[in-house]
Amino acid sequence: MVNASNRTQGLGTENAFVVLKDVNTLLENGRDVVNFCIGQPDFDTPKHIKQAAIEAITAGKTGYTESAGILPLREAVASYLSTTRGLSVTPEAVVVAAGAKPFIGYTILCVTDFGAGHEVLYPNPGFPIYESQIVAHGAVPVPYMLRERHAYRLDLEELACKVTDRTRLLIVNSPHNPTGSVLRSDDVKAIAEVVARYPDLWILSDEVYARMIHDGAFASIAAIPDVRERTILMDSLSKTYAMTGWRIGFAANARLATFLTRWVTNTESCAGHPNQYAALAALTGPQEPADRMMASFTQRRDLIVRELNAIDGIQCLAPGGAFYVWPNVTAACRRVGAKDSEDFRHRLLHDAGVAVLSDIHFGQKIPGEGEHIRIAYATSEANIREGVRRIREYVT
């Protein structure tokens, strides 16, 4: 029997889509489920963005583009990043791809050698594709822990201890999936000081939620002069403009742009041609739809944190950004007889009709941290109220 390679069989996945499949099966069978499991805005893509894609298709812009992306879009991205991050970016430093996610793998491929023992530091809990891509590309995954007592921000002492001469890449994600934590200005400065001691160490700054800040201002590590040249800034249109299915993202780094482009050429050729014109319209057109969406997410954040903290057995910190909460459900698990967060998640779905994700979907358990679930509040206030009501009734 011919088998897939061990590397392929061991490839990780994004469990939100696995749970979503279960949810859809229940819905098809007539079950009523409040879905908090997927990180996708419930808003429609703004009309002017859709119209730009329609016009591009009508005008025959349906063939290949250069692998780095059309120049007008790269110019718009450069201007956008310069304005929103407070740094100078040129179009030559920008590369466009089919979403931001490919740049995780492309960056690892650009800065590590397969099987050479090069290490990549990544957040735990964190976006699961970080670890799966590190392993798939032959590097060594080294998680750094985000703990509740630090409000899920990076522990600088731990980071300093984990960086070695073998470390080639540090992945930072702010605002953070799944906890919603946000790195402050003093955090990114301190991280930069650690990185600057190691001449072979790069940074991948995952900033796909950068416009989704509830409190204060966003601080990009790419704006720190000492590490600017070695920081790959990664962003996306998916969350900010409700364009998850359009698959348009971009990265910026002057030193690696040529190599990132080469990986795009080798894998996807280029991002979808009409989609690039939609992205151009998103970045250069009216920003009011995105601003209204963000204001709505802040209201929903306030609602869900308040409602969850009113339930005995659940404790929930208020996230500073993105659209996720990461409540501690240790006591709630004991109340319902669940052995852990994954058992609790399964019970919520099948017994209470509420779909969430458990902490094991975002990395390894951290001793002493208890049990957590992720709830995406990228849904209506009515759904939030109903979903939390079901959780309350199930727990109490």
DSSP at 80: H
6-44+289-395 falls under which CATH superfamily?
Aspartate Aminotransferase, domain 1 (3.90.1150.10)
Q: How far is Cα 159 from Cα 175, in angstroms, rounded to an integer?
A: 18
pLDDT digits (tens, 9 = 90+) for 294-319: 999 999 999 999 999 999 999 999 99
For every residue of 245-289, DSSP letters joined together read GG--EEEE-TTTHHHHHHHHHHHTSSS-HHHHHHHHHHHHS--HH
Domain over 47-284 is classified CATH 3.90.950.20: no
* Spatial separation of the C-alpha atoms in residues 153 and 156, rounded to whole Å: 9
DSSP 8-state class, residue 348: I
Which DSSP letter does residue 143 get? E
Query: What's the CA gap between 73 and 77, in Å, rounded?
Result: 6
d(CA 306, CA 284): 36
3-state SS assignment for residue 243: coil
What is the layout of strands, in order, in the sheet containing 324-325?
324-325, 373-376, 357-358
Kindly provide the b/e burial profile for residues 328-338, where b requires at least 16 CB atoms within 10 angstroms of the residue's own CB.
bbbebbebbeb
Average of pLDDT values for 270-284? 99
Confidence label for 12 from pLDDT (cuts 50, 70 and 90): confident
The tens digit of pLDDT for each residue in 19-32 reads: 888 889 998 999 99
Question: Are the C-beta atoms of residues 144 and 150 closer than 8 Å to each other?
Answer: no
Dihedral in degrees, nearest 10, Cα atoms 102, 108, 109, 113: -160
Could you report the per-residue pLDDT of 63-76, keeping only the tens digit for each?
999 999 999 999 99
Residue in 144, 139, 169 with CA at minimum distance from that of residue 158: 144
Give the Cα separation of 209 and 123 in Å (integer): 16
Distance between CA atoms of residues 199 and 22, nearest Å: 46
> Any idea where the domains of the chain sit in the sequence?
6-44+289-395, 47-284
Task: Give pLDDT tens digits for 337-362.
Answer: 999 999 999 999 999 999 999 999 99
Rounded to an integer, the average pLDDT of 313-341 is 98
pLDDT value for 119 = 99
Helix (H, G, I), strand (E, B) or coil at 144: strand
Please say if the pLDDT value at position 123 is more than 90: yes
Give the C-alpha separation, 147 to 159, whole Å.
13
Residues 6+ positions from 79 with CB-CB distance below 8 Å: 283
Asked if residue 331 lies in contact with residue 313, where contact means CB atoms within 8 angstroms, the answer is yes
